[in-house]
């Protein structure tokens, strides 16, 4: 069965680690993350004004993988709001993929400080708190 796995969670919750551990032995997988767009010469360089392009490229990569019948396509983004995932659900329907959503960690402002200390991309504490507050189930 072709599967689209949408991984959700606040920055620092362990999404990418979960994905790495989950798919280490699966050969026909494609991991799509907006964070990949900001990797330059092995260093993460976030630019807020480039975020729409990063997500556009993430969606394009997912669609290409589905067109090529990848066994498992994983979306590794925060996905804090339902609309952020709609395009992936539409692609899954178009290409015949079963969809599973997984939320990593707790989603509550009281965990923001802990996640802030361990997130790999320097996301400010206030940003993580706001993301937790706007979370949609």
pLDDT tens per residue, range 78-130: 999 999 999 999 999 999 999 999 999 988 888 999 999 998 888 999 999 99
Write down all domains in the chain, each with its CATH number in brackets: 3-133 (3.40.50.300)
- pLDDT bracket for residue 19 (50, 70, 90): confident
Q: What angle do CA 52, 44, 80 make, to 5 degrees?
A: 45
Identify which of 73, 50, 79, 51 has the alpha carbon closest to the alpha carbon of residue 61. 73
Burial (Cβ within 10 Å: 0-12, 13-18, ≥19) of residue 97: buried
Q: What is the pTM of this model?
A: 0.90
On the 0-12 / 13-18 / 19+ scale of CB atoms within 10 A, 78 is: buried
């Amino acid at each position: 069965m072709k599967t689209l796995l949408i991984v959700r969670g606040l920055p620092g919750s362990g999404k990418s680690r979960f994905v790495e551990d989950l798919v280490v032995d699966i050969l026909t997988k494609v991991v799509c993350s907006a964070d990949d767009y900001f990797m330059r010469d092995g260093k993460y360089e976030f630019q807020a004004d480039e975020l729409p392009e990063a997500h556009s490229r993430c969606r394009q990569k997912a669609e290409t993988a589905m067109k090529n019948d990848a066994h498992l396509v994983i979306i590794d983004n925060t996905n804090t709001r339902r609309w952020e995932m709609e395009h992936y659900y539409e692609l899954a329907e178009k290409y015949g993929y079963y969809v599973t959503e997984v939320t990593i960690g707790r989603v509550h402002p009281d965990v923001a400080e802990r996640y802030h200390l361990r997130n790999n991309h320097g996301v400010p504490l206030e940003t993580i708190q706001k993301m937790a507050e706007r979370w949609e189930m």
